[in-house]
Amino acid sequence: MALDLLEFGIFFVILTLIVKPVGKYIAAVYTGKRTFLSPLISPVEKWIYRLTGIDANQEMNWKEYTLSMLLFNFIGFIALFLILIFQGSLPLNPEHFKGFSLSLAFNTAISFITNTNWQAYSGESMASYFTQMAGFAVQNFLSAATGMAILMALIRGISRKNTKAIGNFWSDITKGTLYILLPLSIIAAVFFVSQGVIQNFNSYKTIDFLQPIVTQSGTVTHQILPMGPVASQEAIKLLGTNGGGFFGANSAHPYENPNPLTNFIEAFLIILIPASLTYTFGKMVGDTRQGWAIYIVMLSILIIFLGVQYYSQIRGDPLITNMGVSGPYMEGMESRFGVGGTVLFSTVTTGVACGAVNASMDSLTPIGGMSSMLLILLSEVAFGGIGSGLYTMLAFVIIAVFIAGLMIGRTPEYMGKKIEVKEMWMAVITALTSGIVILIFTSIALVTKSGTSAILNPGAHGLSEILYAFASTANNNGSAFAGLSANTLFYNLTTGFAMLIGRYIPAIAILVMSGSLAEKKYTPPNAGTLPTHKPAFMVWLFAIVIIVGALTFFAALAMGPVVENLIMWGGI
C-alpha cells in the first residue's frame, strides 16, 4: 500500500511540475510565437498552406470556424468509413481481413473522428495494418487537434474584445498536429519500442507449444501471436486522449503495455496535454492564476475519485474473502501492475476521457466501477479530453459565475466579459447535452429487446453496463465495462448517434459562445467583481460540477452500482 501511495504522489508531483513548461509551449504555438521546433517544422507548415491554398492569416468568425470544423470532420468520417468497408481490397492486410459491416463501419468511423475510440470490434482479429495506420492513427491525430482548435477559439473569445474573429481553424489544426502531437508521439513511440512494444509489418506468427495443452474443448498445440505497427499508434492513442487499442485487450496486452514503467508513462501521457492546457489558458488570457485555479479543481476531483476507487479495490470482495482468498481484489487486473498501477490508470483514463484500459473495467468492485463511471458522468472535466475537457469546464465556470452573480445581486462577469443570456444558454447546452443523451438512450435500451438481449450479466450489473456504455460514448471516452454485446445493429447505431451528439452539439455551443464573447467589450474589474481565481470560487466551482452530476444520475447509480454493492456486502 505504501508503494502505491508513493507512486500516486510521484505521479501528481511530476504532473504539476511539468504543466507550466508544456502549457507555455502550447500557448506559444497557438499565438504564433517562435519555438525551438520552429526551424524544423515551420517550412513544413508553410508548405502545407501553399499546397492547400490556405491563408493562415485570414481569421474567421464563429460561423466560418464552425462550418470549417464540421466539414473537416465530415470528410474524415467519409474517408475512414470507406477504408473500413473496403478494407479487404486495400494493401497491408497480411491476414486478409474482410471489410467491416455497414453498421460497424458507421459506428467505428464516428468513434474515431469524435475522439471517442469506442471499439465494438477486436483490432487484432478485424483491422488490417492499413486500417490501423491510415484510418485509425490518422484520425487519432486529427480528432485531438480538432478538440484543441475549438478550445483555442474559446480562449480567443474570452481574451479578445470588440471583434468577430476567433482564429483560423485550418491554421489551428495544422499547428496542433505539427508542433504538439507529432513531436510528442515520435518521442513516446521510440520509448515504447525500447521497452518492448512491437512495431513491424510482419504476418501473424504461429508458435508451437513445447507440449500440448488439454482443455475442455480439445487439445491445443500452438498459439497465434498477432504482429503489427503497435508503438506508433500507442503513442498517439494516449497523447491525443483517444484510447483505441491496437489489440482488443488494449493496454492490458503486453505488446501495448509491457511493464510497470510503461504503465506509469502511459497514464502520464494520457493526462499530460489536458492538464497543461489549463496553464495555456491562463497564459493566453493574460492571468495564469485563472489557469491554476481550474487545474486545482480538476486535480482535486481526480484525486478524490482515485482515493475512492483505490480504497474499494484494496478493501476487496467479501464473497471472495469468504472462499478463503485474502488480500486486495485482483480479479480482472494485471498482476504486473498491481492494484495501485491499475487504479491509477483506470482513474486517469476515465477522468481524462481517453478510454484506454489496462484491466477489465467490468471486474472492478461496484464502488470502484462507479468511481470511474462518475468521472465520465461529470461531463469529463477532470481533466477531460484534449481540448474538450477544458472547454467543458469553462462552461461550468460560466454557470458558476452566473449563479453566483444572481446570489449576490450583481451582473455576472468572467475575465472582464459580462455573462448574459446567450452565454448562459450555450454553457448549459455544453454541460447538460451528454447527460440528456445518456439517460434517453439508456432508457431506450432498457425497455427494448434489442437493448436488453445484449446484456450478459443480468440484474444491477447489467444496468451498470448499459449506463456505462452510453456514458462513455456520449462523453467521448471510449472505455467499456464489457459484458455487453455491443456489435449489434441497435448498439452500433445508438452509440454512434450518442458519440455524434455528445461531441458536436457542445462543440458548436462553445463556438457560438466564443463568437459572442469576442464581440463584447472589456469591463475592468471593480469592487463588485467576483474573483474567479481564489479558493472560495474553486470550492464553488467544485460544488457546481458535483451537484450537476449528482442530480442528473443519482437515480440511475442507485439502481446500478449502489444496489450491487449492497448485495455484495449483504445489505439486501
What is the reported pLDDT for 525? Answer: 77
Q: What is the C-alpha separation between 473 and 500, in angstroms, rounded?
A: 9
In this prediction, the residues of the chain whose per-residue pLDDT falls under 70 are 327, 571-572
270 part of a folded domain: yes
What is the reported pLDDT for 217? Answer: 79
Q: How many domains does the chain have?
A: 1
Question: What is the CB-side half-sphere exposure of residue 433 using CA atoms within 13 A?
Answer: 26
Rg (CA), the chain: 23
CB 414 within 8 A of CB 512: no
Alpha helices in 286-420, H assignment, sequence order = 288-315, 318-321, 338-351, 366-377, 388-408
Q: What is the C-alpha separation between 430 and 427, in angstroms, rounded?
A: 5
Q: The C-alpha cell of 564 is what?
A: 450491487
Q: Which residue has the cell 477489465?
A: 360
Q: Which residue has the cell 432508457?
A: 443
Cα 293 to Cα 152, 287, 382: the distances in Å are: 19, 11, 13
Q: Which amino acid is at 230?
A: V
Q: What is the C-alpha separation between 495 and 471, in angstroms, rounded?
A: 10
Count Cβ atoms below 10 Å from residue 535 Cβ, excluding itself. Answer: 10
Q: What is the C-alpha separation between 99 and 106, in angstroms, rounded?
A: 12
Beta pairing, strands 417-418 & 205-215:
unpaired
378 part of a folded domain: yes
215 part of a folded domain: no
- Domain of residue 233: give its range: 2-209+221-568
Q: What is the C-alpha separation between 228 and 76, in angstroms, rounded?
A: 23
What is the reported pLDDT for 411? Answer: 74
> How many angstroms separate the most distant Cα atoms in the chain?
80
390 part of a folded domain: yes
What is the reported pLDDT for 257? Answer: 94
**131-152 per-position pLDDT tens digit:** 999 999 999 999 999 999 999 9
What is the reported pLDDT for 572? Answer: 53
Question: What is the CB-side half-sphere exposure of residue 150 using CA atoms within 13 A?
Answer: 34
Alpha helices in 212-287, H assignment, sequence order = 230-239, 260-285
77 part of a folded domain: yes
216 part of a folded domain: no
Query: What proportions of the chain, in percent to the nearest 5, are helix, strand and coil?
Result: 65, 5, 30
CB 11 within 8 A of CB 264: yes
CB 172 within 8 A of CB 153: yes
What is the reported pLDDT for 571? Answer: 56
195 part of a folded domain: yes
pTM: 0.94
What is the reported pLDDT for 221? Answer: 85
Q: Which amino acid is at 129?
A: Y
What is the reported pLDDT for 567? Answer: 80
CB 392 within 8 A of CB 294: no
Q: Which amino acid is at 270?
A: I
Q: Which amino acid is at 59?
A: E
> How far from chain centre, in Å, is Cα 303?
17
Q: Which H/E stretch holds residue 82?
A: helix 62-85
